[in-house]
Each structure stands twice: as structure tokens, then as C-alpha cells.
Amino acid sequence: MEKQAVGELVPRSSLFGESGRNVIDFDFDLIEFQFRRLMRVAISVREGAISSTLLLRRLRAGSRKNATCTTFREVGRVIRTVQLLRYLFDAPLRRRVTAATNKVEALNGFSQWIGFGQGGVITDNDPVEQEKTAKFNALLTNAVIFHNALDIAEIARQLQEEGQVIDPEDLAHISPYLTEHIKRFGEYSTHELGIQPEAYDSKPNVEFTQLREQEPAASGFDTVA
């Protein structure tokens, strides 16, 4: 038993799911019998002979009776359990996983900040257009990251030229996902807003007297039958 922060006692097995559920039914005879098929499927996916989507669709069909699907599921549970146990007992591994997770979350947040249009929501129902939007966002995100990396490198070189010593560990902690200096809406000049326009003269510098003299006097209104 272990004590939670609020003082309640909970079984350690709760870390791995509810009692009676998510239990590994690891059948070595089944694994041995299905081993060749598992390897064949894995090689087919690696070589591109079958897509992962099509594979999942086939395995899902009648999965309760599909021995290959059952074997894959049990092997996956074993791998996840072993990884969880390693994570619990290996402090350096936890630090690496946390650092990698933080980097991924930071990248996702930066990408969402770049794709701020329409609140970052893809409103098009066309899969092709959705893919274009996602790829354009990824392209723009990578371009800004590259630009930030170049700026960081240039500043580091300037500091070295000034005699500053750059610690590699300090430089490694500088994130390329900087946004404070980026103007997503562009840059607009406003200095002309204070300029007063000249007085507007509605009278053009043209003499119309001659036209008035040539115009025949109106004798009345024309009538229309």
C-alpha cells in the first residue's frame, strides 16, 4: 500500500489499471505459434507492402477470433508494461522522457501560435485541403524556427567577438521557439497619421466663361409627345 498526498491509502496495482482489467494474458504457446505471422506482418509494414491503416482494418475485422490480432495486443501490453516499470525505477529515463515531452509540447504550442488564423482550427472538410493546411503550417513553423536559430547563432558569435565565453550548456537551453520578436500581423508605419492634409479647394483653376457665352439660351422646356 502507498499513501497519497491527501492521506488516502491506495493499492500499488492501481498504477496499472483496475483490478481484473488490462490484465496480460501472455500465452507463450500462442506467441510461438504466431511468431512467423507477426514477423511477416512487421516486415510487410516496414517494406511498404501494406499500409498501417489497411493492416488495422483487417486485424479489426473479427478481432475476437483473430489470433494474430490477439497476439499483437498481448505483445503490446507486455511492451507497455515493461516500459512503465523502467520508467518507474529509472530516474535518468524519467528525466529524458520529461525533457523530450516538454520539447514536443513546446513545438506544438509554437506551431499553434504560428497557425493563429481562425483560431488554429481547420474548417475545410476536404482531406486534401486539410493536408495542405497542416503541411503549410509545418513549413512556416520550420522556417521561423530556422530563422530563430540563425539569430541565436549570430548573437552568440557577436558575444564571442566581444570576448564573452559561451557555455555550450547555456546555449543548449535556449529554445528556438521564441515569439516575442515576431510580428504575426506584419509591421505598419504610423508616422503619417499626424500629417495634416492641405486645405481642399473645390474650385478648379479653369475658366468656363467662354463655354457659357457659346451656350444658347434656353427658350423653354422641350415637350415630349
What would the pLDDT profile of 108-165 be if each residue is shown by its tens digit?
A: 999 989 888 777 777 878 888 888 888 999 999 999 999 999 998 898 889 888 888 8
d(CA 81, CA 87): 10
User: pLDDT, tens digit, for every residue of 30-87?
Assistant: 778 888 888 888 888 888 887 777 777 777 665 556 777 778 877 888 888 888 889 9
Angle at CA 89, nearest 5°, toward 83 and 90?
80
What is the number of other CB atoms lying within 10 angstroms of the CB of residue 59? 16
- Asked whether the predicted pLDDT for residue 167 surpasses 80, the reply is yes
- Asked whether the predicted pLDDT for residue 23 surpasses 70, the reply is no
In the three-class reduction of DSSP (H, G, I as helix; E, B as strand; rest coil), residue 144 is classed as: helix
The pLDDT score that the predictor gives to residue 143 is 92
Burial class of residue 71 in the structure, from the number of CB atoms within 10 Å of its CB (0-12 exposed, 13-18 middle, 19+ buried): buried
DSSP label of 64: T
Mean pLDDT of the chain: 77
